Amino acid sequence: MKIICIGRNYVDHIRELNHSIPSDPVFFLKPDTALLIRNRPFYYPAFTGNIHYEIELALKICKVGKNIQSKFAGNYYNEIGIGFDMTARDLQENAKQKGLPWTMAKGFDQSAPLGKFLPKSSFPDVTNIPFHLDLNGKTVQIGNSSMMIFSFSEIIVYISRFMTLHTGDIIFTGTPAGVGSVKQGDKLEGFIGDQKLLNCLIK
């Protein structure tokens, strides 16, 4: 399986990182070794001094697709959950300045904590899904799928022009404003509505 992550999909987050609004979705990959499941702790890696959290709505792909048409895109995912796109911001800034890939900064082991999924059928409207991240009990990021520049369907259509989607692939759909650093001992909790789907202790 692969993890496909959308960057720059919320205007307020683009502003906080001083980027420009993209005309097409920006995406990158994390390998399967980035997955961190069952609420296991995240061990702060030695190669970075600035790990950031980014809460994102995650889609689970449920059938194989290539060049998916917009009207069918909604049929290609059947579960929605919460993921944290853990980012070594210092390595990422360094790579960006040199025009190099972000792979190390985004794809390292444990960089994709992934929580419980909910069936898509349990959402009355996938274009209005509220979610938030608490850091040590205080809400630091608030988002809603209504705030995304590119919708779930637009993301699926775009990615599938370049890459075949497989059953079990996960799409991280971008983060809203409020990203920030973690330190050892911090506790991250991710919610859809008031339902906690992911928690992660930084060790």
HSE of 81, CA atoms in CB hemisphere, 13 A:
22
Contacts (Cβ under 8 Å, ≥6 apart) of 98? none
- 113 in Cβ contact with 83 (< 8 Å): yes
Nearer to Mg ion, 10 or 117 (CB): 10
- 149 in Cβ contact with 21 (< 8 Å): yes
End-to-end CA distance of the chain: 27
- Chain contacts with Mg ion (rule: CB under 5 A): 54, 85, 175
Min separation Cβ 173 and Mg ion, Å: 9
Tokens of 33: 């070794």
Nearer to Mg ion, 45 or 75 (CB): 45
Min separation Cβ 71 and Mg ion, Å: 28
Min separation Cβ 142 and Mg ion, Å: 16
Nearer to Mg ion, 54 or 169 (CB): 54
Give residue number: closest CB to Mg ion.
Answer: 85
Nearer to Mg ion, 61 or 86 (CB): 86
HSE of 148, CA atoms in CB hemisphere, 13 A:
26
Min separation Cβ 75 and Mg ion, Å: 25
Task: Find tokens 């970075």 and name the residue.
Answer: 48
